[in-house]
Amino acid sequence: MSAERAPFTAQLRAQPGVIEVGAADAPERWTVRVQLSDAWDTVRMTAPPTEPVLTLKLRALEVLWSDAPYHDDFVVKLHGAVVDEHASLADVGATDGSILLLMLRRRRPVR
């Protein structure tokens, strides 16, 4: 699905523009949102269903929190469950229009 015809959920409160990840000539591309909870910010991405989740995580961190210490300090969740970052979007159960939540692995105390 093209970014112009992205699912409604992928259009909500995201930074302008769409980040394209993976092979540009892929026969199918999904639009997903990657939301960084600590930054209260979201990016829209398009990627083939076969793209590893880790690729989207790294790209989202570059845009949303460029001075993040280590990408291993963050986990990706889908429907509340931590997903295997080395698996593809399709393998972890994502679909076109899914929202991936990117958050710190260890919770920090509120002061």
Tens digit of pLDDT for each residue in 9-35? Answer: 555 565 667 889 999 899 999 999 999
Domain ranges of the chain: 3-104
d(CA 46, CA 31) in angstroms, rounded, equals 4
pTM exceeds cut of 0.95: no
Per CATH, the architecture of 3-104 is what? Roll (3.10)
Tens digit of pLDDT for each residue in 51-74? Answer: 999 999 999 999 888 776 778 889
For the chain, give the secondary structure using H, E and C.
CCHHHCCHHHHCCCCCCEEECCCCCCCCCEEEEEEECCCCEEEEEEECCCCEHHHHHHHHHHHHCCCCCCHHHEEEEECCEECCCCCECCCCCCCCCCEEEEEECCCCCCC
The answer to whether 76 and 102 are in contact (CB under 8 A) is yes
Phi and psi for 45 in degrees, rounded to 5?
-135, 150
